[in-house]
Structure 1
Amino acid sequence: MSEIYVSTDVETDGPVAGRHSMLSIGSAAFLADKTLLSTFSANLETLPELAVDSRTAAWWATQPEAWAACRLNLEHPRAAMPRYLAWLKALPGKPVFVAYPAVFDFSFVYWYLTQFAGENPFGYSAIDIKTYAMAMLRQAYRASGKQSMPAEWFDPVSHSHVALDDALEQGSLFCNMLRANLERVERGLKTRVDDES
């Protein structure tokens, strides 16, 4: 089965999965050639047993449009996460989680899937876009953020802090990086063949 790159963004009310609630999830399933297969999004009810982080709440106060967007049509995670699991399982290939940063988004998705759907079909297959950039740019991790990436890796889309919008944005970024890396490999192979002939 082919790999499906599931670019995912979550919005939360704090930094720690299991301590704070996931407010919204957006996923966009891409083939390696940037074909968009399908999308998923859900806005979630907060869990009353979990706390709200004060610094995160202060940040949300500066983002009224994104906050309003993630509070529409709320679902309990018991409904949303089984629906998400079914969506992932219906994809025509093995899902690979892709995020920026993966360590944050994956922790919430893993926790919510196991808590409310009983299964995590990603396993531990996750790609961090900034780490991939570090390898491609051949420089330190902290020097490999978006400000250091070539302009041609980016499509003309905005980062809105609406989960699905951001999942689409970073999915396009990842696919552009993947294509650039494969083209670099192909050029290297061609150069080696030319040198040997």
Structure 2
Amino acid sequence: MAEVYVSTDIETDGFLPGDNSMLSLGSAAFLADGRPVGTWSANFETLPGAHANPRTAQFWAAQPAAWAACRQNLRPPQQAMPEYASWLRALPGRPVFVGYPVTFDFSFVAWYLARFAGDNPFGFSALDIKSFAMAVLGCEFRQTTKRHMPREWFDPDLPHTHVALDDALEQGALFLNLLRASRPHR
């Protein structure tokens, strides 16, 4: 079965799943040839008993448009996450989580899937764009920031807005261009 690359971005009110809440989740799924196969997004109610991290609250204070976007049409995670798991299982292949950075986004998504859907269709399949860029560029990990990456890997029509689905689409384009760069003779 083919792999489906699920570029995923989240917005949160802190750094620790459970203590902090995932505010928004956006995913854009692509086949290896670049064909899009679907998107999914939701904004979530905060977790009972969770609290916002003060540093993260400062970040959000400087991003009023993105904050407003992720606080619209709120859904309980126990309702939305089973729908997300069903969407992942319905993709035309095995889902691979793609993140930038994968360690942050995947930790929240895996926790929310386990807690509210009882299942994680990704399993342990998660690909980090920064680590992949390190291999393709032949550089050290700390040199894999976006400013060190070739401009042609970025789609100028897909800005980074801190709206989860927008950013999932933006990093999906980055990933697909990186994938093409890693396979120059195919």
> C-alpha offsets along residues 48-101 of structure 1, whole Å, 9 cap, x if unaligned?
211110110111000000000000100000100001001001001000000000
Distance 2:9 2:70 in 1: 12
Q: How does 1:91-130 map to 2 (within 5 A)?
A: 91-130=91-130
Higher helix share: 1
Partner of 1:88: 88
Distance 1:133 1:180 in 2: 10
> What percentage of aligned pairs have identical amino acids?
63
> Structure 2: which amino acid aligns with 1:137?
L
Distance 2:110 2:179 in 1: 25
Partner of 1:18: 18
Question: What is the deviation of 1:33?
Answer: 1.5
Query: Which runs of no fewer than 5 residues in structure 2 stay unpaired?
Result: none
Distance 1:168 1:41 in 2: 11
> Structure 2: which amino acid aligns with 1:52?
A
Partner of 1:193: none
Distance 2:133 2:29 in 1: 20
SS in 2 for 1:103: helix
Aligned residue pair count: 185
Q: How does 1:97-176 map to 2 (within 5 A)?
A: 97-156=97-156, 157-176=158-177
> C-alpha offsets along residues 144-173 of structure 1, whole Å, 9 cap, x if unaligned?
111111111111120000000000000010
- Kept in 1, the 8 Å contact 2:18–2:47? The answer is no
Distance 1:13 1:40 in 2: 20
> Structure 2: which amino acid aligns with 1:166?
D
- Kept in 1, the 8 Å contact 2:98–2:127? The answer is yes
CA RMSD of aligned residues (A): 0.8
Question: What is the deviation of 1:17?
Answer: 1.1
- The 4+ residue runs of structure 1 with deviation greater than 2 A are none
Could you tell me the TM-score, scaled by structure 1's length? 0.92
| Structure possessing the higher radius of gyration over alpha carbons | 1
Partner of 2:41: 41
SS in 1 for 2:120: coil
Query: Which runs of no fewer than 5 residues in structure 1 stay unpaired?
Result: 188-197
